[in-house]
């Protein structure tokens, strides 16, 4: 099982290169001259409205939501509220997670993040649903693994700025697997992609 150090070594946790910061200024309104002011206004909005109680309110954490919503405070606030509402409504995706067991999904090539990026520099999250064995990994564990991957991915500032891509390979999909893909499961997956801040 990889250690915390191994996982961190695979992530790009450094400061974004200057050309990416320039891209962010032009494409997602991340202006370094007013960034501190927007972060402070965002923080004030969260406290004043009281619609959620974030476990962190430092700049590094809050800028994830601002970057995902083009530094528009109202939209970033809606995203952070939705994020915490989702966590509150779906505790089974966050509590009692057996990380050692979930790592075996990578052995089955069920959920993977390739070491390469696509042409614009975004990370790729690849699901090979045909490899899924429901008796080995219940649907809740698929969601748990997804949340872990997304929370790790969003630590990268490059990912915060550029976002990422989720690909679903349905090759080899069986009727047994389709049986588990209920409308409620599809709805949860859409919710995850909406509140993940990443995709």
* pLDDT at residue 15, rounded to an integer: 92
What are the CA-CA distances from residue 44 to residues 65, 76, 98 (Å)?
14, 13, 37
Distance CA 82, CA 165 (A): 21
* pLDDT at residue 197, rounded to an integer: 58
Distance CA 135, CA 137 (A): 6
Tell me the residue ranges of DSSP E strands in 32-153. Answer: 111-112, 123-128
Burial 172-194 (b: 16+ CB within 10 A, else e): ebeeebeeeeeeeeeebbeebee
* pLDDT at residue 101, rounded to an integer: 86
* pLDDT at residue 17, rounded to an integer: 94
Give the tens place of pLDDT for each residue, 110-151: 999 998 899 999 999 999 989 988 889 988 998 999 999 999
Strand 111-112 and strand 164-169: pairing?
unpaired
Task: Give per-10-residue mean pLDDT for the chain (199 aa).
Answer: 48 92 97 97 98 96 97 97 94 89 87 91 92 89 91 93 91 84 81 68
- Report phi then psi at 36, rounded to 5: -60, -40
Label each residue of 145-196 as H, E or C: HHHHHHHHHCCCHHHHHHCEEEEEECCCCCHHHHHHCCHHHHHHHHHHHHHC
Domains of the chain: 18-89 (1.10.8), 98-195 (3.40.525.10)
Distance CA 42, CA 26 (A): 21
Distance CA 78, CA 69 (A): 10
CA-CA-CA-CA torsion sign (148, 74, 194, 10): negative
Q: How many CB atoms lie within 10 A of CB 133?
A: 10
Distance CA 28, CA 8 (A): 27
Point out which residues pair with 168 in neighbouring strands: 127
Q: Which residues contact 20 (CB under 8 A, 6 or more apart)?
A: 121, 158, 161, 162
Coil/strand/helix, residue 111? strand
């Amino acid at each position: 099982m990889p250690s915390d150090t191994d996982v961190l070594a695979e992530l790009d946790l450094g400061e974004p290169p200057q050309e990416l910061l320039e891209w962010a200024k032009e494409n997602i309104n991340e202006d370094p001259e007013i960034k501190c002011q927007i972060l402070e206004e965002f923080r004030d909005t969260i406290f004043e409205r009281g619609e959620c109680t974030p476990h962190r309110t430092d700049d590094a954490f809050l800028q994830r939501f601002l970057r995902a919503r083009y530094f528009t405070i109202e939209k970033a606030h809606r995203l952070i509220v939705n994020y915490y509402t989702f966590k509150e409504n779906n505790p089974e995706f966050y509590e009692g997670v057996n990380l050692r067991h979930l790592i075996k999904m990578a052995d089955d090539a069920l959920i993977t993040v390739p070491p390469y990026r696509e042409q614009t520099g975004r990370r790729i999250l690849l699901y090979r649903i045909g490899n899924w064995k429901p008796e080995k990994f219940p649907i809740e564990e698929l969601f748990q693994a997804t949340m872990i991957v997304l929370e790790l991915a969003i630590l990268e500032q490059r990912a915060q700025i550029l976002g990422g891509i989720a690909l679903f390979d349905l090759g080899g999909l069986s009727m047994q697997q389709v049986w588990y893909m209920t409308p409620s499961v599809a709805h949860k997956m859409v919710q995850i992609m909406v509140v993940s801040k990443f995709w």
